[in-house]
A and B are shown apart, each in its own frame.
Chain A
């Protein structure tokens, strides 16, 4: 394809609490890391696409483009979106259209500065009416779990297995994060810890089922494939980004047991890239909760609706999808790697990029003796209100 976009460098900060750092410092760190990886300089950049979900709300900032301009001393066009995938999508469109050849895509969030009111803000972003009725950022995940259990008539022993599978999701993600120096939580947890946290609070999901709030930044440099070829032998092409949107108001959605937007985004991405779920060996999914990771496997077409917990239960570091291994959230996922909203998608792309280039170190996944060929990333904005599926890797030979 003409003007196909490809990633030539990635960079990120550690996710976690950066109380000593201004937001600018974080994005600077991520950008410098990316620019050090390739020979593209600031002056080569033709545009910047940045994402942050609510930095102006948490950090009382006006135009984020302005501080990015100050930081880079660049006066090129800059746009801000609310998720990294959205920024990447816009950047890809620009490259595909032939408008630009070299752009910077970055993401940033600084959530821990407003620990006092972050959950109120998050919930208002999810859906004001749910907030007015008393909803919390966690409650919709628990309602979705209950809807899922009811819809698929999961009871008795199977229900125990499902709950166990969800615990296994978070245990696996924490184990993966111990090999990721950028992860927010680099420590193992046990099934018992997950279960007893749920039990202590008398809740369907407990402390260890949810991703934390985080600070962090991520960045990548995107070029046209023609430019990429001159810079590196191992650029990673973006084969497709599928996107879809759903109601803000979760209770009003048709089906409460999964995310229609994720299903549609995957279908779109599959159609564009000719990559089907069975071609993907590694994915990064948006596990704001363990429920989200489980349901993502179904919405992305790896498992039939109501069955993903069976593929998860009993697996160690990868899931068994019809006899084939599927590696999910090898960087620790949102749960252990961290979830600074605007930067999260960048970290997901970062991981797939490293894995496809065989640069993931201790975390490196091998399919036979090779690195995986194709990887996918699912990112959400809100509680399934917007979904983006990005497919990375080489074009399949027809």
Chain B
């Protein structure tokens, strides 16, 4: 049994890479210090905090580890070394992640040393199934590969809109892919899970929005692959991303996990909009994140038919009324108790493929919500620019889009299942992110989520001119990740191993 207090202290510092600097002599420390060892008592109260989370470092020295300590044995082979920040003022131990190194591979250490690296929030190592999942950001990836460095610059909003809407977003998919049956799907690295994807998506959304994370008053995280049956993902997201005003080691934010199969996150768009619109809420911005390491039993086992489509990743949307890039014009939700996909408590994988898959579930609910919303807003498919359906497989979204009267150019930009797989709670959100990546100002987007069990939420969004201004801030958009030359393809066995995780 591990110690929760030790775990809490290590992840509190290590997840965010909290550091401090002496205002007297400039010396920096990787940890929170009340005073400087150089300056002694005169530096009391003169230590400022330094945040390495959005920074980039340099891999100074490295070596190859092929016989790790017990808790790292699932990583088998990896590069370990020392990363420096701020020209060597801070040096930390570091593990290079997102590198699949086979037993016989030779690693050219000198080709890695000197390169820029980015801290990534990951699982730290393996522990027993009943223990708290340890995390850390002393995992790094090379900045000149899949995930480049992006600056997190806080920009004061200038314009208030009448309607609430999206003020920033980010979509995250891992570096690894499996290519099968004509589609590509994202595969998590072995130290990734739903929690790390939720943090990545939220981090990208903050960078895109330019908002100070302290201004976020609420965070919803929707997932169906939370590593815990009981314990929120949202608390980790809030702590790592420092959402809300920070007081001591507590964040002044309301953080909550939501669950409704694949619409767990999409369902909360309207709640976020309502919350930021209610004048007495005191909340100016709310973050909605959907992320999954989509679960599927291995092929040939019950529920194994999902294994051909499941992906990994997520997306995060920040709602507010200032500097909006897409205003929320309306929504419609519908629900019925239709069990087409479920996972009983304690079971490892969901069940699926029964009597209700398809017509009585996905099509009925998506059709209903989309049609009702268009009726309510008095628009036809042809009046809209984009349609974003939930994408459980490559055929369903196309069939419903055509049935509702949408043309290829209206729905194809949203279809990402062929690139990342079904990212469950993140799926419709990644589709929406892909559309926002290419949309022009004053365009209308219809989103129709779907959650098994069953229900659908339809939303109507209208883009604003600020969409284009903010686009420049996000290098790591959906297309960048889909067409990334550093994406690495793995075989089925490796895919299952990586997906099972540490």
Contact = CB atoms under 8 A, between A and B. Distances in A.
Interface in B355-370: none
B63 A146 contact: yes
Contact of A120 (B71, B78, B80, B81): B71
B117 to A, nearest CB: 12
Given A123-B69, A202-B106, A251 B62 contact: no
B42 to A, nearest CB: 22
B95 interface: yes
A301 to B, nearest CB: 26
Interface size class of A (residues with CB under 8 A): 20 to 34
Interface residues of B, number: 39
A202 B107 contact: yes
B91 interface: yes
Contacts of B125: 132, 134
B320 to A, nearest CB: 36
A325 B105 CA distance: 42
Interface string A115-158: 01101100100011111111110110011001100100000000
Contacts of B256: none
Interface in A249-263: 249-252, 256
B66 interface: yes
Contacts of B105: 202
B170 to A, nearest CB: 26
Contacts of B69: 119-120, 123, 131, 134-136
B93 A135 contact: yes
Given A120-B71, A146-B109, A146-B113, A133 B95 contact: yes
B404 interface: no
A132 B124 CA distance: 7
A370 interface: no
B81 A132 contact: no
B145 interface: no
A331 to B, nearest CB: 27
Given A119-B69, A136-B67, A251 B75 contact: no
Contacts of B63: 139, 142-143, 146, 203-204
A127 B64 contact: no
A277 B14 CA distance: 43
Nearest to A137: B69
A250 B67 CA distance: 20
Given A134-B72, A134-B80, A129 B93 contact: yes
Interface in A230-288: 249-252, 256
Contacts of A131: 69
B158 interface: no
A250 B109 CA distance: 19
Given A147-B61, A256-B60, 5 more contacts: A120-B69, A150-B61, A150-B113, A202-B66, A252-B29
Interface of B: 10, 14, 29-30, 60-72, 75, 78, 80-82, 90-95, 105-107, 109, 113, 124-125, 134, 136, 138-139
20 contacts: A119-B69, A123-B69, A127-B93, A131-B69, A132-B93, A133-B80, A134-B72, A134-B93, A135-B69, A135-B80, A135-B93, A136-B69, A138-B67, A146-B113, A202-B107, A203-B63, A251-B82, A251-B91, A252-B90, A252-B91
- The 6 lowest CB-CB distance pairs between A and B, nearest first, are A134-B95, A133-B93, A142-B63, A133-B138, A130-B93, A251-B82
Interface of A: 116-117, 119-120, 123, 127-136, 138-139, 142-143, 146-147, 150, 201-204, 249-252, 256
